[in-house]
Amino acid sequence: MNAMILEAQKKPLVFKKVAIPEPADDEVQIKIKACGICRTDLHVMDADLTSPKLPLIMGHEITGRVTKIGKAVSGLQVDDFVGVPWLGYTCGKCKFCKRGQENLCDYARFTGYTINGGYAEYTVANARFCFKLDGKYDDPSSAPLMCAGLIGFRSYHMISTSAKNIGLYGFGAAAHIITQVAVAQGKKIFAFTRDGDTRSQEFAKKMGAAWAGGSGENPPEKLDAAIIFAAAGELVPKTLQDVDKGGEVICGGIHMSGIPAFSYDLLWGERMIKSVANLTRQDGLDFFDILKDVPVKTQTQFFKPEQANEALDMFRSGKITGAAVLVME
């Protein structure tokens, strides 16, 4: 099969023919329909994340059809349409797994990072971590739901339900999905982009944001909560300044540049800072349940798999509006 391979970090991916992977007993083999590109892929490539399996097939926003089943798999059949997210395996035994925080599992494995992912024609995945999807997700534009959607949702879910004014910092794949969910639930979204990025600000308003501006600007109203999707640590003191007393600041990314020192005054008033790590399978079930009532439309730009380097470069330089997706068929 054709695959885009990361042979070494800080190097472009290499287009190669490799053997189609065969499923182990607890795995399914999947013919991939589409695989979204996530900011985490850039962090893997650029060595912000330091421990990838190498060589590696990146990609953890996978949708596709099951083509083969391992002997011990139950609950999935050949021809089922599935989604494969970032969380690829957890031990089920450590203290985090036992208390319902499998996203923090000490022995977790991650799709497209410590196990092969979806920048290829086929992949194998542990059946217990695949989401069985109905036919409406067959369109390649659904692929970003598997991470941008899920991590966005976990970040949003961390905010107390009474929060009304929510700031989103960095308006890309995750923010544009979660804006649609939040607006449908009666929230008011304030979108912050890079200063001067009027294209992303227009996009945010089109997705339902009540206000959009540069991250250096002050929102017109105090915020109850903020989610930072951008990997920029200097946004943490800025968001603390933007949120009201009791406000929550959620850092939604897997990597962030250093957070500058800030005055305790900014944290005072029971403001909180929290990070979001990975996802649980329950997050996925909850998210797809909500999508039954909220018709989320993703804005996507499609690429062929062999154009992955080009797509990653465009993404890195902020030239993608919404999400980039590799389409295999």
Report the interface residues with Zn ion, using CB under 5 A. 38, 40, 90-91, 94, 97, 105, 147
* Choice between 16 and 255, CB closer to Zn ion: 255
**Least distance from Zn ion to the Cβ atom of residue 40, Å:** 4
* Cα 246–Cα 249–Cα 250 angle in degrees, nearest 5: 135
Cα(182)–Cα(179) distance, integer angstroms: 5
The backbone region for 212, taken as left when phi is positive above 0, alpha when psi lies in -120 to 50, beta otherwise, is: beta
d(CA 61, CA 146): 5
Tell me how far, at minimum, the Cβ of 144 lies from Zn ion, in Å.
Answer: 9
Question: In 269-304, which positions are buried (b, 16+ CB within 10 angstroms) versus exposed (e)?
Answer: eebebeebebbbbebbeebbeebeeeebebbbbebe
**Exposure of 258 by Cβ count < 10 A (0-12 exposed, 13-18 middle, 19+ buried)?**
exposed
**What distances in angstroms separate CA 182 from CA 157, 163, 164, 245, 327, one per listed residue?**
10, 11, 9, 21, 28
| CB 48, min distance to Zn ion, A | 13
Nearest distance, CB of residue 30 and Zn ion, angstroms? 18
Q: How far is the CB of 128 from Zn ion (least distance, A)?
A: 13
Which amino acid, residue 198?
A: T
Output the smallest distance, CB 172 to Zn ion, in A: 11
If the CB atoms of residues 205 and 316 are measured against Zn ion, the closer one turns out to be 316
In the complex, what is the shortest distance from the CB of residue 44 to Zn ion, in angstroms, rounded to a whole number?
10
Distance of CA 279 to the CA centre of its chain: 9
DSSP 135: G
Whichever of 16 and 109 has its CB closer to Zn ion, that residue is 109
The residue (of 94 and 184) whose beta carbon lies closer to Zn ion is 94
User: Among residues 21 and 149, whose Cβ is nearest to Zn ion?
Assistant: 149
Please say which residue, 40 or 321, places its beta carbon nearer to Zn ion. Answer: 40
Helix axes 148-158, 281-290, angle to 10 degrees: 90
Nearer to Zn ion, 111 or 165 (CB): 111
